[in-house]
Amino acid sequence: MTTAKAKKAQQLIHPDRDNRFSSEDNPFEAMMLRFDDAARRLKLEPGLYKVLRAPEKQLIVSIPIMRDNGEIEVFTGFRVQHNTSRGPAKGGIRFDMAVSIDEVKALAAWMTWKCAVVNLPFGGGKGGVICDPSTMSMAELERLTRRYTAAIIDIIGPDQDVPAPDVNTNERVMAWIMDTYSMHKRHTVTAVVTGKPIDMGGSQGRRDATGRGCLVVTMRALQRKKMKVQGATVAVQGFGNVGATAARLMAEVGMKIVAVSDKSGAIHNPKGIDIAKAEQFIKAHTFLEGFPGAKPISNEELLALPVDVLVPAALENVITSKNAAKIRAKIICEGANGPTTAQADAILDAKGIYVIPDILANAGGVTVSYFEWVQDRGGYFWDEKTVNERLEKIMITSFDEVSEMSVKHKVSMRIGAYMLSIQRVAAMHRLRGLYA
């Protein structure tokens, strides 16, 4: 490797490489700006303000694994627990080249607020490994997952911190984590992770839960805005677990999905895209590119379509100060974590766009994770109908509580959601007091 190349590779995997973010797209800052706004409006005590800003625990680990060719490579992994006052930390693990400590810190804090918005007895955590799973074999991914699990094993557990799937991790990865943890503990511990395969203690309905939650809150928002569900037009950015499921379920209730996108670009058909066919096409061709019956457009064009509902369901920083003015959707349902920057919030608010914020909109996943944890611990499993009914009830209640908060304090749904969750976490801290 040339020196320049080596330097670049080093920069890519250095755990402290947070200066790669501009201040607008630094996810930790984006989270903090909203937190500060909500905390100020709640007149949060200065001491508690300091406590809630600081992540409780940040673990950085080196993960040596052997590649299939016999070479040893060292990856960097993280697990951050932002707050555990209401219960065990809860949150996914992502495998991605863009992972950094700042991103994981932000995502962990978002999990604290998300779990509190939907009133689950969990705190917030998040993990990640800097890697590109698309370049790794199944055997390498398994070794990476198992060694990462071993490296963070002291801080995870059903009562401590319960990981789950996130970007580029799935049921298969959760199965390896559960097995590794159980082998160390010398007995089977299913409740250490959620999002597992159903045959090993996973929950019915978990796979679709985030997308289903998006559907429930979008229907509630349409109702609030006195808009019809039948024929409501939708653009979905991101066609992974969240985006594809949301699109499928929205189409099932009669909404018209006019555009979807993935890494290969976006496709548009004003008459509606057949989502089942798009899912089949992806199975055969990996990407949407070349899908018949829709014309290719750019991701930026998708975001600017004049639709009733826009669902950003990929990664952070998709709607920013640079493109927010161009957005013409009436409702935005944030399937992803952190798709809108704080600077973009102000522009969307001024345009009167109704934003269902990430910590409410995509909370369906962690809600069914909670159900999975409860079922594992109780050793008694529910049918899919029960899971979906209970999920719907929590999503509707939480939507209404956030909406009430935003009306009462004359703030956006986002700040309303932060206020509701900060209030709940703060209440727990006040009751528990400060251990010294």
Q: Which chain residues interact with ligand GLU by CB under 6 A? A: 90-92, 164, 166, 194-195, 337, 362, 365-366, 369
We find the least distance from the C-beta atom of residue 11 to ligand GLU, in angstroms, to be 27
Cβ nearer to ligand GLU, comparing 120 with 347: 120
Cβ nearer to ligand GLU, comparing 194 with 412: 194
We find the least distance from the C-beta atom of residue 157 to ligand GLU, in angstroms, to be 14
Tokens, residue 177? 């984590």
We find the least distance from the C-beta atom of residue 261 to ligand GLU, in angstroms, to be 20
CA distance 228 to 231: 7
Tokens 């798709």 identify what position?
A: 339
CA distance 388 to 364: 10
CA distance 156 to 152: 7
* Distant-in-sequence, close-in-space partners of 357: CB < 8 Å, separation ≥ 6: 334, 402, 412, 413, 414, 417
- The H-assigned helical ranges of 158-286 are 171-185, 209-224, 241-252, 275-285
Which residue number has the CB closest to ligand GLU?
A: 92
We find the least distance from the C-beta atom of residue 90 to ligand GLU, in angstroms, to be 5
Cβ nearer to ligand GLU, comparing 109 with 332: 109
CA distance 311 to 324: 14
Cβ nearer to ligand GLU, comparing 90 with 207: 90
Residues pairing with 164 in the sheet: 92
Cβ nearer to ligand GLU, comparing 347 with 417: 417
If we measure between CA atoms, which residue out of 299, 400, 386, 310 comes closest to residue 354?
310
User: Could you give the residue numbers annotated as active site?
Assistant: 126
We find the least distance from the C-beta atom of residue 173 to ligand GLU, in angstroms, to be 12
For the chain, the straight-line distance linking the first and the last C-alpha, in angstroms and rounded, comes to 52
CA distance 221 to 201: 34
CA distance 291 to 62: 41
